[in-house]
C-alpha cells in the first residue's frame, strides 16, 4: 500500500518556488530547500525528485501563476484593451520595485541563459503564451483606436516582454523608481495614439 503524503504538495512547491525566486537556482542548496519546505530530504526526493526536477516544477508553477493572473485581468469587461496592456506592463515593473526582484522567468534567463534545455522549454512556452496575450490586446486596442495602427502587434509584444528584463537590470543598477516608472511611461506612450 502506498504511503499517504503528510503535507500539501502545492503548498510546499510554492515555498520552494519562492526560495528559488529569492536566491536563484545556483545559490539554492538542497539543505536550503529542506529547511524552507520543512520536510525531510527523503520526502523531498520521493515527492519532487532532485533539485533540478523541483526547479522545473517551480518554474512551471510560476509561469502558470503569472499567465493566469494576466488572463483573469484580460477577462475584466470594464477595462479597455489598452488599459489591460498597461496593467500587465506596470504589474511586472511594480513587482520588481515592491519585491526588489524581477519575475522568476527573467531571473532564470539571466542566471542560466540558454544552458538548460528543460528550463528553456518552460521559458519559451511562457513567452509564447504571454506574447499571444499581449499581441491580442494590442490588436484589440488598435481596433478601438487606442494603439497606433502602424505598430506590429507581434513585434510590439516581443519588445514589451524583452523590456521587462531591461527594467529589472536598470532598477538593480540605480534603485531609481522614478526613472524606471518614466521608462515605463515612455514605453506605454510609444504605443498609444
Beta carbons of 180 and 97 less than 8 angstroms apart: yes
pLDDT of 138 > 60? The answer is yes
Q: Per-residue pLDDT averaged across 55-77, rounded? A: 82
Residue ranges of alpha helices (H) inside the chain are 9-23, 30-37, 41-48, 51-74, 81-99, 104-112, 117-143, 153-174, 177-191
What pLDDT score does 123 carry?
87
* Residue 187 burial (CB count, 10 A): 18
Q: What is the pTM of this model?
A: 0.79
| pLDDT of res. 160 | 93
pLDDT, position 69: 79
Cell of 165: 528584463
Give the angle subtended at the CA of 109 by the CAs of 108 and 113, to the nearest 5°. 115
Q: Which domains can be identified in the chain, with CATH numbers?
A: 63-191 (1.10.357.10)
Angle in degrees, 0-180, between the axes of helices 30-37 and 41-48, rounded to the nearest 10: 100
Rounded mean pLDDT, 88-99: 78
Please give the angle made by the CA atoms of 49, 54 and 56, to the nearest 5 degrees.
Answer: 125
Top mean-pLDDT range of 78-92, 108-122, 151-165: 151-165
Question: CA separation (Å) from 138 to 64, 153, 165, 175?
Answer: 22, 6, 20, 30
User: Can you give the C-alpha Rg of the chain in angstroms?
Assistant: 19
3-state SS class at 179: helix
Cβ contact 154:60 at 8 Å: no
CA 122 to chain centre: 11
pLDDT in tens, 25-49: 999 999 999 999 999 999 999 999 9
CB count in 10 Å sphere of residue 14: 16
Amino acid at each position: 500500500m502506498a504511503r499517504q503524503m503528510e503535507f500539501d504538495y502545492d503548498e510546499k512547491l510554492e515555498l520552494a518556488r519562492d526560495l528559488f525566486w529569492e536566491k536563484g537556482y545556483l545559490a539554492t542548496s538542497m539543505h536550503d530547500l529542506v529547511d524552507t519546505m520543512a520536510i525531510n530530504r527523503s520526502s523531498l526526493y520521493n515527492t519532487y525528485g532532485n533539485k533540478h526536477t523541483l526547479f522545473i516544477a517551480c518554474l512551471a508553477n510560476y509561469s502558470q501563476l503569472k499567465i493566469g493572473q494576466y488572463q483573469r485581468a484580460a477577462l475584466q469587461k470594464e477595462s479597455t484593451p489598452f488599459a489591460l496592456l498597461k496593467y500587465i506592463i506596470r504589474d511586472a515593473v511594480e513587482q520588481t520595485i515592491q519585491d526588489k526582484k524581477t519575475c522568476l522567468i527573467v531571473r532564470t534567463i539571466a542566471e542560466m541563459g540558454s544552458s538548460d534545455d528543460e528550463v528553456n522549454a518552460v521559458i519559451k512556452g511562457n513567452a509564447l503564451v504571454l506574447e499571444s496575450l499581449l499581441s491580442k490586446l494590442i490588436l484589440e486596442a488598435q481596433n478601438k483606436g487606442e494603439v497606433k495602427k502602424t505598430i506590429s502587434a507581434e513585434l510590439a509584444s516581443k519588445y514589451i516582454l524583452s523590456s521587462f528584463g531591461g527594467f529589472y537590470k536598470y532598477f538593480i543598477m540605480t534603485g531609481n523608481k522614478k526613472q524606471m516608472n518614466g521608462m515605463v511611461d515612455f514605453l506605454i506612450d510609444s504605443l498609444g495614439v
